[in-house]
Amino acid sequence: MSAVAKQKPLIALTPAVQERSGGGLNGCINKEYTDAVLAAGGLPMVLPLTDDEAALAALLAPADGLLLTGGGDVNPALFGGDPANPKLGSVSRLRDTMELFLTRRLLDEGRRPVLGICRGCQVMNVAAGGTLALDLPSEIGAAVNHSDPRHFELVHDVEIVPGTRLHALVGATAIRVNSAHHQAVKDLAPRLRVSARSTRDGVVEAVELDGSQFFLGAQWHPERLHDRHEPSAALFRALVAAAS
């Protein structure tokens, strides 16, 4: 590794799970995630898909921060929900186990930063002891289409809570975001606080740890907006800065 690379914070990224047509699994990641970390001055390191805790601990050891990426649903059995809910999408025991281990390890450590995106935000809440709404349209209605197919466009408004870390990062109390999810935070974990909500229906759009550690989850997809949306770019810069 070059001297220049060593000076850049190493950010570990979790992969999504993709089932192969002939059987087996792939760990994969959208390029926007690694592009966003690179643009923010970090060095992305995509982790292999594994639930081997010893291997995960060794892989995490050199990382300066963690990025939990978006993807499928979190298994409701992990937070007292109903795994038989007909609105539940695809779940992966392997990914749930991997991400909850990594998140709880850094949360317990209390030092290295964690940024969660969409599913990643939900994982952070579950890891800290919270629960999730399993399907927003059936549980809260359709005032806002949170599964909007315009993934790279700003489609609805979000209110940011003054005095939060997120507020300090984006410098505003209201922004517009993209939206591609059907689950969200329901019961907030005891150690977390809400830092943003959807303006029209109150759905939790961001959470953060109420303390010195950078532990922040955003329900929208800032990686798809980082090159033209300052509030989204600010999240990645903050992660890299906290990892420096």
Q: State how far the Cα of 125 lies from the Cα of 38, in Å rounded to an integer.
A: 26
50 by Cβ neighbours in 10 Å (0-12 / 13-18 / 19+) ranks as middle
Contact 67, 239 (CB under 8 A): yes
Residues annotated as catalytic are: 118, 221, 223
Helix (H, G, I), strand (E, B) or coil at 139: helix
228 by Cβ neighbours in 10 Å (0-12 / 13-18 / 19+) ranks as exposed
Q: State how far the Cα of 159 lies from the Cα of 217, in Å rounded to an integer.
A: 15
Residues 6 or more apart whose CB falls under 8 angstroms from that of 126 comprise 74, 78, 79, 100, 132, 189
Residues 6 or more apart whose CB falls under 8 angstroms from that of 148 comprise 155, 156, 178, 179, 180
Q: State how far the Cα of 137 lies from the Cα of 139, in Å rounded to an integer.
A: 6
